[in-house]
Structures are given as structure tokens and as C-alpha cells.
């Protein structure tokens, strides 16, 4: 069975290395202006989100030191290795909605003495707090990521948040720092990012913009780390998924106007249809393929809209925009625990990821950090686990392929070609992102949104492109615990015609190449 599925996926990718008859393929031209570099692509846009939700933490990251599953001080060895491979730059924790009922003191000290609480937001299950401050901060350090901690502004006063930050960051001979030392950590951790609440317009307090702004100004005044640490405070911003309290424009304006001395403002947007029935993660038809990619592309006008509001109050662009929750959101898998938000991850999600990352590449003047939701076993997960088994998803593979874009310098790229359209949804058939990496090499990402038609892509760049491509025989091609490599990147190369780089891009594919 494994060989059969693996062979099918590989066969689907083979045309990428062979010439596709040009009369069968859509003709697409790409013009890159190397004279117009944009702001550097901050590596932190490749960040992750890990909330106490379902098996995202317990079983997904943390199994404990006594588990039969191979682990490093309680952290799954396979997950740690996978995250290190893609150089995860930042991890956001503990939520999400979970953060605004979280008391940090529940998660410190001997694990056997920590209280067990009910996770009222996600499934009503119990959380024994085995994974707390030390476990998270050490995990981030282990995988080489900057920690991003969200404090509780919904149900705890500023004093509690101030104490938590002091506990994590102080090097003084003071009570909180000594308590941390007694709990096993001598040196303070380097806390790079601090979220002042989460979705204050919704589960974080149901606040309107004006009140949320005053709350941010108040909390950010009292919660501080040593200046030498350079901790960035992130105000809880708007959403692209609801109107009213969290409206992208009015909520952003209120926060920019009255939120205090802002350093960064968050924004949340999920590529999900409104209503209870969001469709299945697999076994969908082309109508749901087209709808989901169209929803993912809505990130661009939303980021543009939020950025325009920010520009009115911050024309020098000193306040960064952090899209610290994004991704696909479908019906959870049948038979999975209610409220755990566990969903499969297919080639469709790989396209969602690639299209979204390309959008961030086009808005580097504002977008400096992002966090996909979520890291393991929840929503558009990078990794799925089941007991001792682990599988890497197509989304993970896109993040792996896109690594050369970290800290790269982007260039404007215009695309001329047909649209892909179906069931009232229309979009450019081919999406492109081009940047010069830190290594000095030129990289290009190509996304073919059409699930049927290949594209013959002619660029104005000199040379030949070589890299990797991700595709499969079906729109919902995905990896399972029994067949973990049904879809994975394979070698891909273009040709040179008249000295210009040319690519024969299969349908429903994502490619990243170095143009040599």
C-alpha cells in the first residue's frame, strides 16, 4: 500500500522535470524588477502557535520524562527534531483563548503539587499543568525559537502579569528570581515577545476598541522586562473574521490612537467560511478547493486595510504588524474529541500556506511576525501525532521549502496569465514570490492554484531554476500514520530558453527554486 501511494505521488510530480506540451499548458509570464528591493522578510513570519488545546501540548509536544515515547527531558524527540529542521523562529504560548483564564502560578514548582484545572474553552477537559512556564521556555530554547508569551488581561490584574515577567526575566537577588532558581532555572530566560492579552474583542474580554486600547495602555505600563532584553510588547489587535467589536478598521484605529506606546499590533485571520459547517479537511470537491484558496487570498486585502489604518497614526511604520494567528479551519475530524479542533492536512493546505506566506513577503514594510495556528495536532498543524507515531503534513513541507526566504530581500514580481476560476471563485492561476537570500542567491516560489491545468511559466530572469516541488495526484492528497510520505517535496528543475529561466509547473503544486 505504501509503495502504491508513494508511487502515485511521485508520478504526479514527474511532469515537473519534463517538458509539458506548451499547447496543453496555460501560458504565464513573470517579470521581476530587481531594481526595486523591498524590506527584508523577517524570519519571524515563519512562527508557530502552541495553545493548550486538544493534544497540541500534551501528547503533541510534551509526553513527560517517564514516557515510553522517545523524549528529551519530556519533549517528544521526533517533534523536536522536526522543528529544528525548519528553524522555527518563534513560538507563541499559552494561547489563544486559554491564556485569559491562565494563572502562571499554576504551572511552576514541582509537577506533583501543581493544581489541576478545567480547560473551559477547549473541550472542558482537565489540565494538570505539567506543561508550564519552565517547560515552555525550556522547549523554545531547545528548538532554538524565540518565546512569545501571552499574558492574562481578561481575568487577572496587571500586578500578576508583572510578577510573571519578573519571574522569567530577572537576574536580581530578589524573591521572584530566587523562586525561579529554586524551581530549577538559575539564569533568566530571554523573553523576546510579550502579548498583552489575546483577542480582547472576543474571548479575551468582549471589549470594544476604545476599552481594549485603555487596557493595553494600562497593562503595558506596568509589565516590563530589563531594558537590555529588548522585549517587544504586542497589543491585542483586530480580526478579519468578524465585524463589530473586532472589526479590522475601527478596532485597529482605536488601538493605534489610544493604546499607549505601541511596539507591535497583532491581527488574526483564519481562512474559514462563516457558519458551523466549514467543510471537511479531506474528501472535498473542487468547489471547496476554490473557496478555501479564495479565503486564503483574502489575507492580502485585509493586511492592506489594517496597514492603511496604521499608516494614518504611524506614517514612519515604527509599529509592526504581527499576524500571530492564521491558517485553515475546517470541521474537525469525525470521531475526534469535541472541542479539540483536530483536522487532517492536505495539498490544499499546502497551497493555503504558500499563498499566505507570499502575501507576507509582499507586505514586509509592516508584517514582521506571524504564527500559524497551530504547531501540532490543532487546525492547520505542521505535525500530527498519535501515541508514538508522528507525521509531517504538507504545510510543514511548505515551511521547509520556504526556508531560503528567511531574512531574504524581496522584489516586485508581476504575473501575466489566465485566472483559475470555479463556482464563483476566481484568482490568478499562478502566484509568485521572488527574493534574494542571505546567501546572495535568487529564490523564486511558484504556486499553481488550478487543480487541473499545468502552466508554462516564462520569466525575465537569466539562468536555470532548480529546487523542489510539492504536488500530488488529488486535491486532498495527504499523509497518514500508515502512509507518512504520500506527499513530500521532490526535485524540480526548469529550463533555459533564450537565456531566460522557464518552468513547466504542474497543476495544484507549490515549487521553490534557486535561479542560478
**377 in Cβ contact with 55 (< 8 Å):** yes
Find cell 516541488 and name the residue. 469
Structure confidence at residue 168 (pLDDT): 98
Structure confidence at residue 12 (pLDDT): 41
C-alpha angle with apex 141: 138 to 145, nearest 5 degrees? 130
**374 in Cβ contact with 56 (< 8 Å):** yes
The answer to whether residue 199 is catalytic is yes
**511 in Cβ contact with 490 (< 8 Å):** no
Mean pLDDT of residues grouped by 10 in the chain (516 residues)?
Answer: 37 40 81 97 98 98 98 98 98 97 98 97 96 98 98 97 98 98 98 98 96 98 97 97 86 97 98 90 98 98 98 98 98 94 98 98 98 98 98 98 98 98 98 98 98 98 97 98 98 96 98 96
C-alpha angle with apex 20: 15 to 24, nearest 5 degrees? 125
DSSP 116-130: PEEETTTTTEEE---
Q: Tens of pLDDT along 140-167? A: 999 999 999 999 999 999 999 999 999 9
CATH of 2-38+411-515, one of 2.60.40.1180, 3.40.50.1970, 2.130.10.10, 2.60.120.10: 2.60.40.1180
Q: Parse the chain into domains and list their residue ranges.
A: 2-38+411-515, 43-407
43-407: CATH superfamily? Glycosidases (3.20.20.80)
**R_g of the chain computed on alpha carbons:** 23
Structure confidence at residue 23 (pLDDT): 55
Compute CA distances 391 → 244, 451, 495, whole Å: 39, 24, 33
Q: Which of 199, 300, 316, 351 does the annotation list as catalytic?
A: 199
End-to-end CA distance of the chain: 38
Compute CA distances 306 → 40, 245, 265, 317, whole Å: 20, 15, 10, 12
Query: Is the alpha carbon torsion for 377, 269, 355, 442 positive or negative?
Result: negative
Nearest one of 155, 152, 173 to 164, comparing CA atoms: 152
The answer to whether residue 286 is catalytic is no
Please state whether the predicted TM-score (pTM) of the whole model is above 0.85: yes
Structure confidence at residue 7 (pLDDT): 38
Phi, psi of 126 (to 5 degrees): -90, 150
Amino acid at each position: 500500500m505504501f509503495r502504491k501511494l508513494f508511487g502515485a505521488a511521485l508520478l504526479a510530480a514527474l511532469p515537473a522535470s519534463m517538458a509539458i506540451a506548451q499547447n496543453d499548458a496555460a501560458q504565464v509570464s513573470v517579470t521581476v524588477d530587481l531594481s526595486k528591493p523591498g524590506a527584508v522578510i523577517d524570519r519571524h513570519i515563519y512562527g508557530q502557535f502552541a495553545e493548550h488545546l486538544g493534544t497540541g501540548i500534551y501528547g503533541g509536544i510534551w509526553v513527560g520524562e517517564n514516557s515510553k515515547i522517545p523524549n528529551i527531558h519530556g519533549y517528544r524527540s521526533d517533534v523536536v527534531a522536526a522543528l529544528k529542521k525548519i528553524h522555527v523562529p518563534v513560538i507563541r504560548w499559552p494561547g489563544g483563548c486559554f491564556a485569559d483564564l491562565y494563572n502562571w502560578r499554576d504551572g511552576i514548582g514541582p509537577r506533583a503539587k501543581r493544581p489541576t484545572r478545567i480547560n473551559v474553552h477547549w473541550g472542558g477537559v482537565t489540565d494538570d499543568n505539567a506543561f508550564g512556564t519552565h517547560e515552555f521556555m525550556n522547549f523554545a530554547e531547545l528548538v532554538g525559537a524565540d518565546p512569545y508569551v501571552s499574558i492574562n488581561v481578561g481575568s487577572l490584574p496587571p500586578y500578576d502579569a508583572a510578577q510573571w515577567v519578573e519571574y522569567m526575566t530577572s537576574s536580581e537577588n530578589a524573591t521572584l528570581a530566587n523562586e525561579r532558581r529554586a524551581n530549577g532555572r538559575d539564569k533568566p530566560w530571554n523573553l523576546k515577545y510579550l502579548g498583552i492579552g489575546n483577542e480582547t474583542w472576543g474571548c479575551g474580554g468582549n471589549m470594544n476598541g476604545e476599552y481594549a486600547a485603555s487596557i493595553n495602555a494600562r497593562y503595558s505600563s506596568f509589565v516590563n522586562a530589563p531594558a537590555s532584553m529588548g522585549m517587544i510588547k504586542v497589543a491585542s489587535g483586530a480580526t478579519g473574521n468578524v465585524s463589530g467589536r473586532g472589526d479590522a478598521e475601527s478596532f485597529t484605529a482605536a488601538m493605534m490612537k489610544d493604546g499607549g506606546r505601541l511596539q507591535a499590533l497583532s491581527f488574526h485571520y483564519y481562512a474559514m467560511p462563516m457558519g458551523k459547517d466549514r467543510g471537511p479537511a479531506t474528501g472535498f470537491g473542487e468547489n471547496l478547493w476554490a473557496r478555501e484558496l479564495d479565503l486564503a487570498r483574502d489575507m492580502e486585502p485585509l493586511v492592506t486595510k489594517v496597514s492603511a489604518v496604521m499608516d494614518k497614526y504611524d506614517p514612519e511604520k515604527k509599529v509592526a504588524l504581527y499576524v500571530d494567528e492564521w491558517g485553515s479551519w475546517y470541521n474537525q475530524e469525525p470521531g475526534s474529541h469535541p472541542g479539540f479542533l483536530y483536522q487532517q492536512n492536505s495539498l490544499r493546505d499546502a497551497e493555503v500556506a504558500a499563498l499566505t506566506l507570499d502575501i507576507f513577503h509582499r507586505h514586509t514594510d509592516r508584517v514582521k511576525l506571524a504564527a500559524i495556528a497551530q504547531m501540532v495536532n490543532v487546525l492547520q498543524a505542521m505535525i500530527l501525532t498519535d501515541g508514538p507515531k508522528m507525521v509531517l503534513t504538507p504545510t510543514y513541507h511548505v515551511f521547509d521549502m520556504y526556508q531560503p526566504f528567511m531574512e531574504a530581500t524581496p522584489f516586485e514580481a508581476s504575473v501575466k496569465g489566465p485566472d483559475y476560476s470555479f463556482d464563483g471563485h476566481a484568482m490568478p492561476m499562478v502566484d509568485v514570490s521572488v527574493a534574494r537570500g542571505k546567501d546572495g542567491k535568487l529564490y523564486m516560489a511558484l504556486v499553481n492554484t488550478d487543480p487541473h491545468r499545468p502552466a508554462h511559466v516564462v520569466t525575465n530572469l537569466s539562468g536555470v531554476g532548480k529546487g523542489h516541488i510539492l504536488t500530488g495526484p488529488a486535491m486532498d492528497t495527504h499523509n497518514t500514520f500508515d502512509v507518512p510520505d504520500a506527499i513530500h517535496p521532490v526535485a524540480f528543475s526548469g529550463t533555459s530558453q533564450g537565456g531566460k529561466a522557464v518552468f513547466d509547473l504542474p497543476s495544484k503544486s507549490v515549487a521553490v527554486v534557486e535561479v542560478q
